[in-house]
Structure 1
Amino acid sequence: MLFIAATNHNMPLSRFHDGELADGLLKDLGDSIAQRMGLHARYVSVPAKRVADYLASGRADGVCYVLPRWLPGPFNWSQPLMPDSGVLVSRPEAPAVRALSDLANKPVGTVLGYSYSMIDSALGRAFVREDAPSMELNISKIQHGRMQYAIMGRMTAEYLMRSEPQHKLRIDFEFDPFKAQCAFSQKSAIPFGDVQRAIGSLVSDGSIDRLLRHYR
């Protein structure tokens, strides 16, 4: 069973070694789905902008931590699995930001190709994106003082603040809560009904919750 490992993710979702997925929540989740179906999970590293093409063409069976509004296309969707939200992470000396409107005309670390529709709606042209190819690069920039603010997922931010407390980063506010899903190719040879049953059993027996707790 071949899963896409989108290369724009970092821990706790994904850790890459020599370009291959080596660790993280998404590897554990893919392994668990495949094992529940009596299959072996494999992973192909794909840039975020090519994920939809890979999945639509059947070059991979599935990808996790996505939403239909992020990944348009004719895909089969799992039930919601992973609760998360967007947060604004700030350096300790940066002025506090309490609402999206406070970000107007302030450079904010974002990921190339990501859509931030709520912020776009709130700020319009006053949303000053500082795009990087991955969240890992944005994290490095904010840690080293090259930017004051960055947008990331709450899971990523909390993991970062636990693992590297010396940077004293803070979460200023949360927005756009969601429950991420997995998407599966309609050209996959693996019946989607089998996938749904495997994921449903992982949810009902508490396996998904245990995976999430491991990274919190």
Structure 2
Amino acid sequence: MVFVAATNHTMPLASFADGKLSGGLLKELGEAIAQRAGRQARFVSVPPRRVASTLAEGSADAVCYVLPEWLDGNFNWSVPLIPDAGVVVARADAALLKQLSQLADRPLGTVAGYHYAALSTTLGPRFRRDDAPSMEHNIRKLLLGRMQYAVLEKTTFAYLQRKQPGLGLRADLEFDPFKAQCAFSLRSHIDIAEADRAIASLLQDGSIERVLSHYR
């Protein structure tokens, strides 16, 4: 079972070594799904702009931690699996934000290829994206003072705070909660019913919750 690993992810979702997925929640989750389906997991690393096309052409079977509005194309979708939300992270010396509208016309660290529905709706043409290849790049830019605010995922920021509590960053706003899913290629040799059974079994016996707990 071949899973796409988008290279714009950072820990706890994914870590890469020599361009290959080497660890993280998505690796452990993919291995659990494949094993429950009686298969072996393999991972192919691709830039975010190629995730949908890699799936659509059948070069991979699935990608996890996605939503239908994030991927262009037709795919088979799993049930929701991974709860998360967006957070606006600020430097300690940045003005405290109380609502998303305060970000109008302010440069905001974003990830290239990501769609930020709540920010686009709230800010409209005053949404000033400052795109980087990954969340890790945006964290570095915050720490270097190149920007005051960036958007991260709640899971990513919580993991970062646990690993490096002295960074001097804070989460000002949480928004747009979601439960991420897995998308399966229509050209996959994996029957969607087989994948659904594997995921349902993992949910039922608590295996997915145990995977998630390793990174909370």
* Structure 1 length-normalised TM: 0.98
The more displaced of 165-174 and 6-15 is 165-174
CA contact (8 A) 1:161 1:168 kept: no
Which residue matches 1:204? 204
RMSD: 0.8
* Structure 1 gap ranges (5+): none
What's the CA shift string for 1:103-161, capped at 9, x where partnerless? 11111100112111211111112111111111111111112222110001100111111
Corresponding residue SS for 1:166: coil
After superposition, give the CA deviation of every residue in 1:11-60 in whole Å (9 maximum; x if it has no partner): 00000001000000000000000111111100000110110000011000
Structure 1 residue 212: deviation in Å? 0.8
Q: CA deviation at 1:211?
A: 0.9
Uncovered stretches (5+) of structure 2, i.e. residues with no partner: none
Q: How does 1:71-110 map to 2 (within 5 A)?
A: 71-110=71-110
Which residue of 1 is the match for residue 180 of structure 2?
A: 180
- The answer to whether residue 42 in structure 2 is matched with residue 51 in structure 1 is no
**Separation in 1 of the partners of 2:91 and 2:163?**
16
C-alpha separation between the residues in 2 aligned to 1:75 and 1:194?
A: 15
1:140 aligned residue: 140
Q: What letter corresponds to residue 187 of structure 2 in structure 1?
A: K
**Are 1:69 and 2:69 matched, yes or no?**
yes
Percent sequence identity is: 59
Q: How many pairs does the alignment contain?
A: 216
SS in 2 for 1:157: helix
Task: Render the CA deviation track for 1:64-93: whole Å, top value 9, x for unaligned.
Answer: 000001013110100000000010001111
Residue of structure 2 in register with 1:171 after alignment: 171
The CA distance in 1 between the partners of 2:36 and 2:64, in whole Å, is 16
1:145-156 superposed matches below 5 A: 145-156=145-156
SS of match in other structure, 1:171: strand
